[in-house]
């Protein structure tokens, strides 16, 4: 892993504090709204359980909890994130929708989860784990806090394999997205970091190996929108 990016990851939450105010707007516009459709994919992979207690790591402004709660099997969701700026915006969104008896967003580290063993039926992370300083440690922690038969569902950017799609993707990610993102968020290089952190992160079968190392089985991956992103599923048996 690139050392400079690896160092920045330790404090990536500070970047998100700086850009929290424009995060939702930029996310939805720069992805042409596809991110909203991607997060809904988690619902398709929910385990067959009547009642689900969920944990969402790197919850940011709460978009995963606010998506998952549409499924009546989800009874409670705890969202953890290291950025107070992101969490505060999330808490306001949850309150506005009257969901504050079901969704609980708070500060918390995805690599050192403040929860007892076997507490949750599912754990989700969307576009968060590549920002963690130690993704493997996080996967071990997720395994620990999941109940037996629990499931982890992770969504993250990937690199498309089709050469034409990949060329367009790299142009967009390396040139267009950093310029617009840095300009609108008024941050000197938050969106340059975003691009670098994606290109530096293992994806596909390489990422499934990290999940297997943590003890997960029944591993699956689904490529989303020409392989721009991937969803990874694993079970604790
Ligand atoms: C790209 S945002 C994703 C937010 C949200 N999941 C979404 O789908 O929009 C990444 C988030 O990871 C958080 N983060 C970075 N390192 C973290 C850590 N070790 N533990 C928890 N959250 C972390 C950042 O603060 C940021 O809010």
- The CA 170 to ligand 1 mean position distance, Å, reads 23
Ligand 1 lining (C-beta closer than 6 Å): 12-13, 16, 27, 57-60, 63-64, 80-83, 86, 109-111, 126-128, 131-132
Q: SS3 for 103-171, per residue? A: EEEEECCCCCCCCCCCCEEEEEEECCHHHCCCHHHHHHHHHHHEEEEEEEEEEEECCCCCHHHHHHHHH
Two structure tokens written together for 177:
């997205």
Angle between helix axes 177-185 and 12-30 (nearest 10 degrees) is: 110
Using the atom order of ligand 1, give the atom closest to the CA of residue 58.
22
Residue 85 CA: distances (Å) to CA of 7, 16, 27, 90, 106: 21, 7, 16, 9, 11
Give the C-alpha separation, 14 to 190, whole Å: 10
- The CA 132 to ligand 1 mean position distance, Å, reads 8
Going by CA atoms, what residue is nearest to atom 4 of ligand 1?
A: 60
- The CA 161 to ligand 1 mean position distance, Å, reads 26
Q: What is the pTM assigned to this prediction?
A: 0.95
pLDDT tens, residue by residue, 65-77: 999 999 999 999 9
Read off the pLDDT band of 163 (50, 70, 90).
very high
- For each of the domains in the chain, give its residue range(s) and CATH number, in order of start: 3-159+201-235 (3.40.50.150)
Q: What is the structure's pLDDT at 3?
A: 75
- The CA 236 to ligand 1 mean position distance, Å, reads 23
pLDDT of 97 over the 80 cut:
yes
Q: Closest by alpha carbon to 35, among 232, 172, 229?
A: 229
- The CA 59 to ligand 1 mean position distance, Å, reads 6
pLDDT of 16 over the 80 cut:
yes
């Amino acid at each position: 892993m690139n050392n400079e990016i690896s160092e920045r990851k330790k404090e990536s939450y500070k970047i998100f504090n700086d850009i929290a105010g424009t995060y939702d707007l930029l996310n939805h516009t720069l992805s042409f709204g596809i991110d909203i459709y991607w997060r809904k994919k988690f619902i398709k992979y929910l385990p067959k359980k009547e009642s689900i207690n969920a944990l969402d790591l790197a919850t940011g402004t709460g978009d995963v909890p606010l998506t998952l709660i549409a499924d009546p099997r989800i009874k409670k969701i705890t969202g953890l994130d290291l950025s107070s700026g992101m969490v505060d915006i999330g808490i306001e969104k949850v309150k506005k929708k009257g969901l504050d008896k079901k969704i609980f967003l708070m500060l918390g580290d995805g690599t050192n989860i403040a929860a007892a063993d076997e507490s949750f039926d599912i754990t989700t992370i969307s576009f968060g784990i590549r920002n963690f300083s130690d993704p493997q440690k996080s996967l071990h922690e997720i395994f620990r806090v999941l109940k037996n038969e629990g499931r982890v569902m992770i969504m993250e950017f990937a690199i498309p394999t089709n050469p034409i799609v990949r060329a367009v993707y790299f142009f967009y990610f390396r040139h267009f997205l950093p310029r617009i993102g840095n300009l609108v968020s008024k941050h000197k290089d938050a969106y340059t970091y975003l691009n670098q952190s994606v290109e530096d992160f293992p994806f596909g079968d390489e990422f499934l190996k990290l999940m297997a190392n943590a003890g997960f089985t029944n591993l699956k991956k689904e490529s989303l929108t020409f392989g721009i992103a991937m969803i990874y599923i694993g079970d604790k048996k």
